[in-house]
Each structure stands twice: as structure tokens, then as C-alpha cells.
Amino acid sequence: MSGATSQDGRSMRERMLAGDPYMPDDELGAMSRRALGLTDAFNATTLDEGRRRTEILTELLGGLGEGTVVRPPLRVDYGTYLTIGDHGFVNFGLVALDCAPITIGEHVQIGPNVQLLTPTHPVEPGPRRDKWEGAQPITIGDNVWLGGGAIVCPGVTIGDDTVVGAGSVVVKDLPAGVVAVGNPARVVKRVTD
């Protein structure tokens, strides 16, 4: 499907970003190929190529904060819709499927093999077979820590200062200042200084 427009005249990219059902088309395919090329280049860098890594991430991402470190490998759908605030740390193996915006605050720590997943798919077999998709944004507040292997599902907001335990699956919003663990993630305590 080339740069298709829907019956309402919007492109599939516009529908995707609005959270409406969309189908991948040539425009989205080109954006995905661009991201794949840039992530491949980023993932091929060495430890001594810090400046080159930053240059690639600046070109790839919608925003990269000052002093933020991202360790390869990294995988994104588009990159353009992923923003990371200042002084963050992203460990090895982040998968950020940014079909909807993913906004990561300042001073966020992301453990290895974390997944931030905005895409959704129809439950009904017909639309799913026809390749319809959807997406809902993810927002991660300031000073959040996502433990290794955590999965954040579509539409979730995580409040400031919250800790998500390793291997947890976050399927609904988490308030600020809590520790949440498990599948599905549940608040087990408040965080205090």
C-alpha cells in the first residue's frame, strides 16, 4: 500500500499518531527502513565511539537529553517518536516500539532488555489478518527506574520516582513514588527518602 490515505483523508502515519486504526504503508515502511539503518549503525559502534553514538542517536530519535547514555543494542520502529530526557541511562537491549510517542523523563534508569511497546492489534481475526494496527503512547516520568526485562504495555503512564521491578509487566498506569512488581505489575510499597 503506497502513501495511502484513509476515507477521512488522513495518511496512515497521521492515523497511527492519533491512536486510530491504521495499516502500514510505503511512508511508514520508508520511516522504518531509515530507523533500521540508523539502529544498525548505532549497534555497530564500539565503546570508543561515544561521539559517533550520540550523533546517530540525535539523528534517529525525536529527542535525546544532555548527558543521557544509551548502550547498544537498541531497536525502535521509527525512532522519531521516542524522546529521552536529560541525564538518563539506558542499558543494553532496549526495544522501544514507537508507533505512538514514547516520552521518557529526566534521570530515568532503564535496565537491560526492557521493552516499551506502543502497538496494539485487533482481537478480531479479520482485521488482524488484514494487517490493521493501532498504537497508544507511553509516558515515563522523571527519576523512574525500570528493572531489567520489564515490559511496559501500550497506553501506560508511569509517575515520577517510581521503581518497576525486574521482569514486571506494566499493563496500567502507575502513580508517582511507588515500587511495583509482578505480572501484572502491582504496587507493593511507597517510596520515601
User: Strand ranges (DSSP E) for 81-123?
Assistant: 82-84, 89-90, 94-97, 102-104, 109-110, 115-117, 119-120
Beta bridge partners of 140: 104, 158
Q: Which of 33, 121, 172, 190 is catalytic?
A: 121
Cβ atoms of 179 and 187 closer than 8 Å: yes
Which residue shows C-alpha cell 561515544?
50
**Cis? peptide before 122, omega within 30° of 0:** no
Q: What whole-number distance in Å separates Cα of residue 153 and Cα of residue 171?
A: 5
Quick check: is 87 catalytic? no
Catalytic residues: 121
